[in-house]
Amino acid sequence: MPFSMPVVWQVKAGAWCWQDPSGAGKSTLVAALVRHGLPYLSDELVGVAVADGSLCPHPVPIGLRPGAQKLLAPVPPGPFDLEGRRSIRSVELGGSTCGCVRAGAIVILAPRRGREPKLSPLRPTIALAEMASHALNLGQQPEVVLGALARLAATTPAWRLVAGGIDSTCQALRAVLEPR
Amino acid sequence: MSSRLVRASWRPRPAATAISAVVDDEVVVYCERSSRMHCLDRYGSILWALCDGSRTVAQVAAETVELSGGLPEEVRADVDATLRRLYELDILR
């Protein structure tokens, strides 16, 4: 398990999602998906097994900003940090965690939002470049990281998501990620 | 640099700091020197595969002409431009 990736959640077949800058809405979406009943993997990092590309969970509490708490109301009462963030465990949102899973989809969250959610197919090379640029130890083990992520990108459908409203975005993601 | 890139006898090869991976016949290159990722399109990926240090630019262009069926002069100009770009990105030497 030589490297880690920022990620998010998992559905029945295994899926993941991560995104770029802080404040783009990743944690809000993660919390909403957990509320929609999807098992929780991580809001920060996930281990990627080089041997088979499976993802190992790191289910840290989800840190929600005040704006996100309004979107997800009611948020359970609890301690807040100095910036008003509330760290919530997935069980407080009614969710569950899981063990290592196979990725079912790669979803890149676009930094901008739209009126309606929009999912567009992403070329595997773009997905690979996006994943690799977020890998924590690409600089230490570039060949290992790039090789493993290339296998993952070659075998996993990838999407670019422009998020819309929180509920409609969750529904759009579930439609793509859950087995038909 | 430019004169070297267009020199037909140059044998381009990946830089020691360029790590590449292939997905669906297209190449992604990570440059350790700049810490940047580069996605090559189908054409760039074909050239990348040919640039293994064993072929001169002229041979790369000749093979590309065979693969693409394009006009030799135009293909050579495209090859020169692409190789120059890859050199400037620090991933080809």
Tens of pLDDT along A149-165? 898 889 888 988 888 88
Q: Do A132 and B28 touch (CB under 8 A)?
A: yes
Most A CBs within 10 Å, among B19, B32, B36, to test the A interface: B19
> Nearest CB to B24: which of A124, A139, A147?
A124
Q: Which helix (H) or strand (E) holds B19?
A: strand B18-23
> Nearest CB to B24: which of A142, A146, A154?
A154
pLDDT at A7: 47
Q: Do A128 and B21 touch (CB under 8 A)?
A: yes
Q: Which residues on neighbouring strands pair with residue B38, listed in sequence order?
A: B29
Q: Do A146 and B35 touch (CB under 8 A)?
A: no
Q: Which residues on neighbouring strands pair with residue B27, listed in sequence order?
A: B22
A15 pLDDT exceeds 70? no
pLDDT at A97: 75
To the nearest whole Å, the CA of B16 is away from the closest chain A CA by 12
Judge contact between A102 and A179, C-beta under 8 A. no
Tell me whether residue A103 is exposed, middle or buried, using C-beta atoms within 10 angstroms of its C-beta: 0 to 12, 13 to 18, 19 or more.
buried
For residue A154, list chain B residues with Cβ-Cβ distance below 8 A. Answer: 23-24
- Assigned token pair, A130: 């996006």
Tell me the pLDDT tens digit for each residue of B50-93: 999 999 999 999 999 998 888 999 999 999 999 999 999 999 99
pLDDT at A121: 94
For residue A156, list chain B residues with Cβ-Cβ distance below 8 A. Answer: none
Judge contact between A57 and A96, C-beta under 8 A. no
pLDDT at B86: 95
pLDDT at A2: 41
* Closest chain B residue to A154, measured at CA: B23
More confident residue, B31 or A3: B31
Q: Do A124 and B23 touch (CB under 8 A)?
A: yes
Tell me the pLDDT tens digit for each residue of A58-101: 888 888 888 887 777 777 777 778 777 888 888 888 887 778 87
For residue B30, list chain A residues with Cβ-Cβ distance below 8 A. Answer: 132, 138, 142, 146
Q: Report the distance separating Cα A143 and Cα A156, nearest Å.
A: 20
- Assigned token pair, A10: 């998992």
